[in-house]
Amino acid sequence: MNPFPASEYIIPLIFLLFAGATIGGALFAVFTKWIIRSVCGLATASVGLAGMFYFLHSPFLAMIQILIYIGAVCITIVFAIMLAEPDEPQDGYGLHSVPWNVGAGIVAVAVFWGVARLGVTGDWPTPAVRVSDGSVEMIGVALLTTQSLALEIVALILLVSILGALAVARKGRHIE
Amino acid sequence: MTAAEPIRLLLFLVGAATFVGLNAAYLVWVERKGAGRFQRRAGPTEVGYAGLLQPIADAGKLMSKQLIVPPGADRMLFRLAPVMMMPPAIMAFAILPFSEYLVGIDLNVGLIALFAFSSFNVIAVMLAGWSSRNKYGIISAARVVSQNVAYEIPMMLVIITILMLAGTLSLTGIVDQQAGAFWNWNLFALASNPLMPVTFIIFFVCMLSETNRAPFDMAEAESELVAGAYTEYAGMGFGVFFMAEYANIVIGCAIAVILFLGGWHSPVGVFPGVFWFLLKLYFMVFVVIWVRWTFPRTQFYGLLNLSWKILIPISIFTLLLSAVMIKLV
C-alpha cells in the first residue's frame, strides 16, 4: 500500500497544534488586560487540552473536557462578568505593583521548575498489567464499584441544586 | 496508515461542508417559500424558476458587502465569534450517521461529542453580542445564556432517559436497536416508558430553544432587539451566523431522528437506507419551519417559566419512571 503523501507528518503536526493551542491559550489568558479575553484564552486552552486527551486515545475525556469547560465553566464566568464587571481595563492596572510581579514570577518559576524536574528525573514505573484503558466501559465500571460513594454524593448534590432552583423559581420574585 | 483512510476523511469533510452550505442556502429558500405559503402569499418568485436562484443571489449580495467593525468594539472577539460558530457545526457532521455506511467517524461516545460541539454555539453568540458594544447585542447575549442554561437541563434529562434504554453512547448503536418497523422506534418504546412521546416533545421544544428558533428566538427578536447579537455584523459576518443557525437546525433534527425516529431504518421494515434518514430529517426541519410561522414569540419570563416550572419537573419524572420501568421489566 502506498501511504498518503506526508502521512508521517500528520500526527506530529496535530500534536503541535493542540500543544500550541493549550500553551498559547494559557499565556493569552494570563497576559491580556481584558478579563473577557482571558476567558477566551481559557476556552482555547481547554480545546487544546481536549485535543491532547483525544490524542491519548480517550475521546470520552476529550468530549467531557469540551462539554464542561466550554459549555459550562466559560459560559458561567462570562455570565458573571456581564453582570458584574465594567469592561474597561483600569489605567495602570498591574503596572505599579512591581514587588508583587517579581514575587509572583519567582513563585511561578519555582513551581514550574519543581514540576518539570519531577517529570524529567522522577521514577515512573510502568505497571506490569494494564489496569484500565480509560474507555467509557472502564470509567462506568469504576464509577459504580470503587467510586460509587463519590458518584452518589455528586448525584445528590446535583439533584438538590436542581430542586433548589425549582423551589426558588416556583416561589417567584416579589418586590417588597 | 493506508492511502484510503485520509482520502476518505478528506472526501467526507468536503462533503459535509458542501452539505452544510447547500442546506443553509436552500433552507432559507424553503423557509421563505414556507412562510409565504403559511401567510397566503407566494414567497420569492423573481430570481429563476419559483425563485430557486434566490439563495445564490443572496449569497452574492452577502459576500460582496463591506465588512465593518463598529468603533469601540472589541475587534478581536468580534472577528473570533463567527469563527467559533461555524467549525463545530461542520465537525458535528463528521459524527452523524446518515446510514450504516455513510458516517465519517463512528465514535463510541458520539452522543456526548454532538453535545460538546453544540456547546460552542452559546459562547459564540454570547461573544458576538458582547464584543459588538451595542446595547441590543448585550441584552441578547444575556438572554441567550440564560435561555440555553435553562433548556440544557431538560434536554440532558431526556438524553439520559434515552441512554438508559439504549445502554450505549454510540449513535450507530442507538439506531441499530431501533431496526425493524416503526413500533421499534424509541418514540414508541411504550413498554419501557409509557411517557415516551412526551419525552420526545420535551426534546423537540428544547431543540427549538437551543437553536434559537421561534417561538423561542429571544436572541434575535427582531421586533425588540433589531437583530440581537448580530446587529453589528455586516456581509458575510452575518452570513456565517446565518449558515450556522441552519446547520444547527439540521443537526438538532438529525439528533431527534437518530434518538427517537429510528435513523436510517424504514418505518415498514423494507429498504433501509440514507433515503429514509433524509426524509425524516427534512420532515422534522419542515416542522421546525411550520412552528416558527405558526406560533408567536413568547415573552422572556414565559420562556424561562416553561423550562423551570414545566419541562424540568416533567423530565425528572419521566427519567424516574423509565428507571423504575427498566428495573421492573
Contact A166 B141 (CB under 8 A): no
Mean residue pLDDT of chain B comes to 82
Residue B3 has pLDDT above 70, yes or no: no
Domain ranges of chain A: 12-88, 133-176
Cβ B111 vs Cβ B168: under 8 Å: no
Burial of B119 (0-12, 13-18, 19+ CB in 10 A): buried
As given in the structure block, the three cell numbers for residue B118 are: 453544540
Paired strand residues for B181: B268
Distance from CA of A31 to the nearest CA of B (A): 15
Contact B119 A66 (CB under 8 A): yes
Q: Which of B6, B113, B152 sits opposite A63 (nearest CB)?
A: B113
Contact B116 A64 (CB under 8 A): yes
Residue A96 has pLDDT above 60, yes or no: no
Pick the residue with more confidence: A169 or B326? B326
Least confident stretch, A117-121, B166-170, B269-273, B281-285:
B269-273
- pLDDT-based confidence at A109, cuts 50/70/90? very high
Architecture field, domain A12-88: Up-down Bundle (1.20)
Give mean pLDDT, residues B285-293: 87
Q: Which of A72, A78, A136 sits opposite B126 (nearest CB)?
A: A78
If we measure between CA atoms, which residue out of B71, B73, B64 comes closest to residue B234? Answer: B64
**Chain A residues within 8 A of B117 when measuring between CB atoms:** 66
The b/e string for B245-277 (b: 16+ C-beta within 10 A; e otherwise) is bbbbbbbbbbbbbbbbbbbbbbbeeeebebebb
Give mean pLDDT, residues B257-283: 81
**Residue owning grid cell 463591506:** B66
- pLDDT-based confidence at B152, cuts 50/70/90? confident
Looking at the complex, does the CB of residue A151 fall below 8 Å from at least one CB of chain B? no
Cβ B55 vs Cβ B242: under 8 Å: no
If we measure between CA atoms, which residue out of A52, A20, A21 comes closest to residue A134? Answer: A52
- pLDDT-based confidence at A76, cuts 50/70/90? confident
- The CA distances from residue A126 to A112, A117, A130, A132, in Å, are 24, 19, 9, 13
pLDDT in tens, A156-176: 998 888 888 777 767 666 655
pLDDT for position B279: 86
pLDDT for position A94: 53
pLDDT in tens, B45-92: 877 787 788 888 888 888 888 887 788 777 778 888 888 888 888 888
pLDDT for position B55: 84
Looking at the complex, does the CB of residue A17 fall below 8 Å from at least one CB of chain B? no
> Residue B154's closest chain A neighbor by CA?
A162
Question: How many degrees, rounded to 5, is the angle at CA B280 between CA B278 and CA B286?
Answer: 100
- The CA distances from residue A144 to A132, A138, B194, B326, in Å, are 15, 10, 28, 18
d(CA B97, CA B106): 8
pLDDT for position B1: 45
Residue A129 has pLDDT above 70, yes or no: no
Counting one residue from A and one from B, how many pairs have CB atoms under 8 Å apart?
99
d(CA B65, CA A125): 61
**Chain B residues within 8 A of A75 when measuring between CB atoms:** 119, 122-123, 126, 145, 148-149
pTM of the entire structure?
Answer: 0.81
pLDDT for position A86: 60
> Residue A172's closest chain B neighbor by CA?
B305
pLDDT for position A159: 85
Give mean pLDDT, residues B154-180: 83
Give mean pLDDT, residues B102-120: 81
Domain ranges of chain B: 4-328
Distance from CA of B309 to the nearest CA of A (A): 7
Contact B122 A75 (CB under 8 A): yes
Contact A75 B108 (CB under 8 A): no
Contact B312 A162 (CB under 8 A): yes
pLDDT for position A111: 93
- pLDDT-based confidence at A75, cuts 50/70/90? confident
Residue B114 has pLDDT above 60, yes or no: yes
Least confident stretch, A7-16, A66-75, B62-71, B182-191:
B182-191
Contact A63 B6 (CB under 8 A): no
**Residue owning grid cell 509572583:** A104
pLDDT for position B176: 80
Identify from B91, B119, B145, B312 which residue to disrupt to test chain A contact, counting A C-beta atoms within 10 A and taking the largest count.
B119
Distance from CA of B67 to the nearest CA of A (A): 22
Distance from CA of B38 to the nearest CA of A (A): 36
Give mean pLDDT, residues B122-127: 83
pLDDT for position A87: 57
d(CA B102, CA B19): 13
